[in-house]
């Protein structure tokens, strides 16, 4: 059963369907002679409804004639109160369920992961660059200890190469801006990985997990599947 009346605060039409409360129309559109619980509407099937005045003081018209209870259909004109507030049949129809498409967030999530992976790869390479000179120096040391004296110049060459690689490694480490880049990637992600409806950041949640929910956890708008 649906109860129809006036929202006392906003003076919109208030439609109560069990647990679901809806307000219809602009504020202050419902006159004061429509009571808070004015009529009830009960579906009688085949597009017919039984409209019933909920209080003897309430005034309800169907096609201009005052009624207490009457079976009506969409072709009937229902007016509430002495000022003949016209009850729109649109007000009674189920509100359209709005859905949001979060498909583009999949790309945002993938781009975020790819960018992070690129940085991790670079950091790994820089780390590797630091260990190469150690290997070269060790090899040089080994050669010079095993080899006869006339191979000593090779050891110097090895040491020189190790030094150059080490300096290059220092340079790469010094000029590396992966921390700043990581911060930038994170910021961009937080700006883009948001609900298209309410703009709330979805968190660092895998898209595949996100889409397992039915709706945005913040505005509750349902996802289009």
* Residue ranges in contact with Zn ion by CB under 5 A: 195, 197-198, 216, 218-219
CA distance 101 to 103: 6
Nearer to Zn ion, 47 or 95 (CB): 95
CA distance 167 to 108: 38
Rounded to a whole number of angstroms, the minimum distance from the CB of residue 206 to Zn ion is: 18
CA neighbor of 165 nearest in space, from 131, 140, 139, 138: 131
Rounded to a whole number of angstroms, the minimum distance from the CB of residue 112 to Zn ion is: 19
Rounded to a whole number of angstroms, the minimum distance from the CB of residue 199 to Zn ion is: 7
Residue 149 sits at φ, ψ, to 5 deg, of: -50, -30
Nearer to Zn ion, 10 or 190 (CB): 190
Rounded to a whole number of angstroms, the minimum distance from the CB of residue 218 to Zn ion is: 5
| Helix (H), strand (E) counts: the chain | 5, 12
CA distance 78 to 131: 85
Nearer to Zn ion, 91 or 216 (CB): 216
The answer to whether the CB of 146 falls within 8 A of the CB of 178 is no
Nearer to Zn ion, 170 or 204 (CB): 204
């Amino acid at each position: 059963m649906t109860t129809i009346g006036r929202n006392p605060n906003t003076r919109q039409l208030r439609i109560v369907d069990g647990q679901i409360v809806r307000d219809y129309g602009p504020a202050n559109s419902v006159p004061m002679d429509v009571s808070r619980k004015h009529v009830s509407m009960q579906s009688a099937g085949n597009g017919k409804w039984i409209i019933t005045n909920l209080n003897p003081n309430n005034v309800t018209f169907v096609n201009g004639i005052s009624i207490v209870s009457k079976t009506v259909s969409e072709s009937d004109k229902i007016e509430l109160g002495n000022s003949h507030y016209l009850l729109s049949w649109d007000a009674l129809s189920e509100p359209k369920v709005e859905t949001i498409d979060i498909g583009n967030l999949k790309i945002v999530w993938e781009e975020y992961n790819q960018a992070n992976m690129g940085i991790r790869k670079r950091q790994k390479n820089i780390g590797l660059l630091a260990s190469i000179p150690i290997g070269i120096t060790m090899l040089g040391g080994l050669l010079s200890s095993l080899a006869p004296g006339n191979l000593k110049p090779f050891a110097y060459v090895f040491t020189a190469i190790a030094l150059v690689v080490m300096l290059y490694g220092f340079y790469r480490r010094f000029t590396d801006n992966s921390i700043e880049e990581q911060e930038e990637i994170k910021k961009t992600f937080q700006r883009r990985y948001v609900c298209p409806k309410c703009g709330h950041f979805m968190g660092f949640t895998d898209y595949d997990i996100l889409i397992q929910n039915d709706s945005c956890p913040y505005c509750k708008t349902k996802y289009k599947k």
